[in-house]
Structure 1
Amino acid sequence: MSIKDTAQAWIDEHIGELLDWHTHIWELAEPAWREFDSQAWYVRRLREEGFEVEDGSGGMPTAFSARWSNGPGPRLLTYAEYDAVPGNSQAATTHEEPRGELSRFAPGHTDPHSALGISTLAGLLATKHAMTTHGITGTLLYTGEPAEKMHGSKVVHGLRGYYDEADAIVSFHPFYMLPLCNTARWDTQCGAYYSKVYSFLCDEPETWQLSSADPHSPIPASHSAARAPGANLALTQMLTSSRSMLDSMLPATGGWSFTDAILTDGQATADNLPQRVARVQFSWRTPDIEMAEHVLAVLDRNATAAAMMAHCSVEERWVARSRPGRTNHVLAQALYDNLAEVGPPVYGFEAVALAQEVQRNLGVEVSEKPFLPETERLIEPQEAERQLREQMPAWQRNWTSDDYVEMSHYAPLVRFYVSRPALASAPGAGPYPGWVMNALGGMPELIAPTILTAGKTISGTFLDLFTSPDVLAQVKEEYESRIAEEPMPALLPADFAAPIDLPWPDYRVDRGSGRRCW
């Protein structure tokens, strides 16, 4: 049996376990910076497989860094993600329903990162098995990356040197937009991503209007006195002013986005007192750093003005500040060759039946072939690039946003995609509701093709790099030349700490029953 056949056979033989593992992570569905059970599962699993694991790497409790070595040789890295998204609780069923007794606003896996992590773990363990069986030397590196939805951990791991020893990195994501389905990125990588939390603090409400103070009241701000506007006003002023200025922040073209979230500590009740704290997070995706910096300057000015209006001070906290990605043609071609050898995902009878049941429950015409045709087809990186460029202005170099970009500044990296189950739109019916893709991603019969294809592609690529020193030398030569042509220093200081202490959404566990509540 060849080296790659050995790895692929391991994945085929262990697909039942891999799907059980996937279901476990998918059901946990823990949101950003709060993936405690998911991370603990990975740490235990990797230690049982013989890896040395640093628990809580980079000062992040829900991150990890693992390594396994079979002697001198190349050092290759891939990673797991496992954060879910608040407001997307969905059971692995063919109708809309939250998981268990949770609120529908609890987190759920959307992309799904559960499949991302288990797919890369499958490739990692299959490679280890083949290396042991065939006596191949080298080192496997594997990192746990929390809070991907906020570009959380990779910027920190990068600044702390966790990627420095890697000779190459394989970055995987389940497909989420065409034409990037069953392919590798070529020239157009993801762009810049900035995310920042502005906290408005009303710590001196008594100094708002001294003339209204009642000398007979024991409370500086009595119910009858004029009171400071408070933190909520600052937040709403910041939110509305920034939203109303979007046209002045960025051009009308270029593929950018601007989102916000309100963090909820300190606002449990309404009382006749100034709100002491209010926090708003802004995140923006842009094709380049110059555009991202322009948005930042506007937001910083707005925050200062909003705080002054509401008699507050403002604290600023970075969540992420990511550079656009670097491409590597040699590595992308090497990976795609392996993907072509494995072939695209194939959805069997059981998967088709489940997809048809979803259509039936939605009152959509049931189709013989319910899946998006592209999910079962390969597209060469160069052709995907051509189609991608048709959608973009000629000046735009980068498109969308994902935090793998930070890793590409520390080692050669390839970004690839394998389809996750997605239904083709029925004629005249419009797009499916969001819960459909979330539900399909949790069904073992439907997610198995993603894990099989991605895992085998990763193991094949790793084994090629371990056994083909000339290819790896070309990968590194291209990486060094691109660094020299366009230096791009980190955007945050080396001692930047992840904002794990902010009041991010979380589960509450009942001490008596152990039940998780949102």
Structure 2
Amino acid sequence: MSKPPAGSPKATAYEWIDANRGAWSDWHQHIWHLAEPAWREHESAAWYVARLRAEGFDVEAGSAGMPTAFCATWSNGSSGPTLLTYAEYDAVPGNCQAPAPHEAPRAGLGPDAPGHTDPHSALGIATLTGLLATKRAMTEHGVAGTLRYTGEPAEKMHGSKVVHGLRGYYDDVDAIVSFHPFYMLPLCNTARWDTQCGAYFSRVYTFVCDEPQTWQSGVNPNSPIPASHSAARAPGANIALMQMYAASRAMHDAMLPSVGGWSLSDAILSSGQATADNLPPRIARIQYAWRTPDVEAAERVLEVLDRNAQHAAAVAHCRLESVWVARSRPGLTNHALSDALYRNLAGVGAPVLGPDAVDAARRIQQALGLDPMEAPFLPECESLITPRDAELAIRAQLPGWQRNWTSDDYVEMTHYAPTVRFYVARPALRPPPGGGPYPAWAMNALGGIPSAIDPTIEVAGKTVAGTFVDLLLDAGLRERARAEFVERSKESGLAPLLPADFEPPVDLPWPEYVRDRDGTRRWLGAGAHG
């Protein structure tokens, strides 16, 4: 690590992060243990709102009509640039893991409850740490400017950023810094260069059987009950859903070529009927999400899914409703910001995983029946790779025609303001010789063990703060970033893919925790494993 000059704004920011290590480590533990799923991050969002207000920010809770979103603003004077970073805090059902070197759910929960996988808990606390460190530097050194911090729920569904963008929350921003813990090589301790994330579409199809009596209206006309117990009844919503599911799975391989890095995922949303009865199932829902290198490919998948849904509804005597969850454009790169951020990341240095983290990693390997390694972590976790070198490694594995790779919802931000996307290593285990990947619980556990995950938060927080200080003080950097943004926006020519009045689907039956009368927090989906 190369230290900034003593007494400089950047040094002040780094000193704040070092001095408050215990606080932000505890903050992370709190969010990590809450582990609330998409659109239902009520306690996590409330914690951020309270924390930011305590730090002097003006906070709009429930921003853009999303109950678990927020927008916080703090200004030092009436001049200077506006800089933005953000928190994410949604977790994933079925990944409940204790911060322990063995497989076990968190206390009082079963393995089917949510857990932080990426982990978004570290994403949010790292950017919050960088934000508050920048605020301290601005205050002590009289640096003018405005800091904006948004709470972005439902990232796993690309839920909020498209909505915040449509509502204008990014319009007057001079630069955005987007962080994510490393999740795939070579994007470890680096910034993206040319190859940004691609398109993402997600849609919920609802099958409604609300006129079952018209299925065979001439059968048993003397019965006072439409479609009575002894008569043929309407197939109902469950049949429609299964027709949709089977048809789309059967056509999966024919939707797009087998190269290019695309995926189609589905989830059946529980609602409508919780018990079996001899009445036609009235409502059934299925969500599809697909990731493609470009919008054109995503539109082709949409055509197939829409057609399958229409036919499934007709077969089962249902009407069809559909609602968008997200519809994101591929991202725009910004070399000026990537260079500036990477200089700060290189100055801070890669995370250093100390003896306690190494011990935890070895104990995980031992729990899996492996011989503990002397160096149990991936070597890439503690080394840097330049944005250009990472770009070369990405391009080496992609077809020449493909411009984008993987999917993340930061891409929508890149169409509203100059944006840089960077990664800092999360702790990841070195594969055993001749062995396959580790089970998901191993990496999830490391994301909750302070000695393993705190170095990620520290490095990312200092990188955010250092980049913000440079942007506040260097008008030339801001001008170069803005000019590049304008040029790339013209080249892209992509308008928002959803209407300006799009309403986020927060009222759908997404899984969530509940609290019993005595205040006990319970995962609503807990069943045989709970």
What is residue 187 of structure 1 aligned with on the other side?
194
Matched, 1:125 2:150: no
What is residue 421 of structure 2 aligned with on the other side?
415
What is residue 155 of structure 1 aligned with on the other side?
162
**Partner Cα distance (1:28, 1:418) in 2:** 23
- Please give the TM-score of this superposition, normalised by the length of structure 1: 0.99
What is residue 88 of structure 2 aligned with on the other side?
81
Written as runs of structure 1 = structure 2, the 5 A alignment for 1:79-228 is 79-215=86-222, 217-228=223-234
Secondary structure at the aligned position of 1:423 is classed as coil
Secondary structure at the aligned position of 1:295 is classed as helix
Cα RMSD of the aligned pairs, angstroms, is 0.7
Q: List per-residue Cα deviations over 1:365-421 (Å, max 9, x = no partner).
A: 111110000000000000000000011000000000000000000000000000001
**Partner Cα distance (2:103, 2:32) in 1:** 16
Matched, 1:424 2:433: no
What is residue 341 of structure 1 aligned with on the other side?
347
Maintained 8 Å contact 2:273/2:281: yes
Matched, 1:303 2:335: no
The size of the alignment, in residue pairs, is 517
What is residue 314 of structure 1 aligned with on the other side?
320
**Partner Cα distance (2:130, 2:176) in 1:** 13
Maintained 8 Å contact 1:194/1:321: yes
What is residue 230 of structure 1 aligned with on the other side?
236
Maintained 8 Å contact 1:203/1:312: yes
Secondary structure at the aligned position of 2:420 is classed as strand
Q: List per-residue Cα deviations over 1:271-294 (Å, max 9, x = no partner).
A: 111100000000000000000000
Instruction: Quote how far apart the aligned CAs of 1:41 are.
Output: 0.2
**Partner Cα distance (2:519, 2:337) in 1:** 50
Matched, 1:292 2:298: yes
**Partner Cα distance (1:401, 1:131) in 2:** 34
Instruction: Quote how far apart the aligned CAs of 1:267 are.
Output: 2.7
What is residue 499 of structure 1 aligned with on the other side?
505
Q: List per-residue Cα deviations over 1:331-373 (Å, max 9, x = no partner).
A: 0000000000000000011111111111111111111110000
Q: List per-residue Cα deviations over 1:138-184 (Å, max 9, x = no partner).
A: 00000000000000000000000000011000000000000000000
**Partner Cα distance (1:467, 1:517) in 2:** 47
Secondary structure at the aligned position of 1:211 is classed as coil
**Partner Cα distance (2:518, 2:355) in 1:** 43
**Partner Cα distance (2:398, 2:470) in 1:** 34
Contiguous gaps of at least 5 residues in structure 2: 1-6, 525-530
Instruction: Quote how far apart the aligned CAs of 1:214 are.
Output: 4.2
Instruction: Could you list the structure 1 runs, at least 4 aligned residues long, displaced by more than 4 angstroms after superposition.
Output: none
Instruction: Quote how far apart the aligned CAs of 1:486 are.
Output: 2.3
Partner amino acid, structure 2, of 1:235: L
Matched, 1:508 2:519: no
Maintained 8 Å contact 1:214/1:225: no
Partner amino acid, structure 1, of 2:122: A
- Please give the TM-score of this superposition, normalised by the length of structure 2: 0.97
Instruction: Quote how far apart the aligned CAs of 1:485 are.
Output: 2.2
What is residue 247 of structure 1 aligned with on the other side?
253
Partner amino acid, structure 1, of 2:236: G
Q: List per-residue Cα deviations over 1:57-79 (Å, max 9, x = no partner).
A: 00000000010000210100000
Q: List per-residue Cα deviations over 1:426-461 (Å, max 9, x = no partner).
A: 112311100000010001111110000000000000
What is residue 335 of structure 2 aligned with on the other side?
329
Maintained 8 Å contact 2:512/2:523: no
Which deviates more from structure 2 when the two are superposed, residues 391-400 or residues 480-489?
Answer: 480-489
Maintained 8 Å contact 1:214/1:222: no
Secondary structure at the aligned position of 2:90 is classed as coil
**Partner Cα distance (1:207, 1:485) in 2:** 54
**Partner Cα distance (2:71, 2:289) in 1:** 27
Contiguous gaps of at least 5 residues in structure 1: none
Which deviates more from structure 2 when the two are superposed, residues 174-183 or residues 94-103?
Answer: 94-103
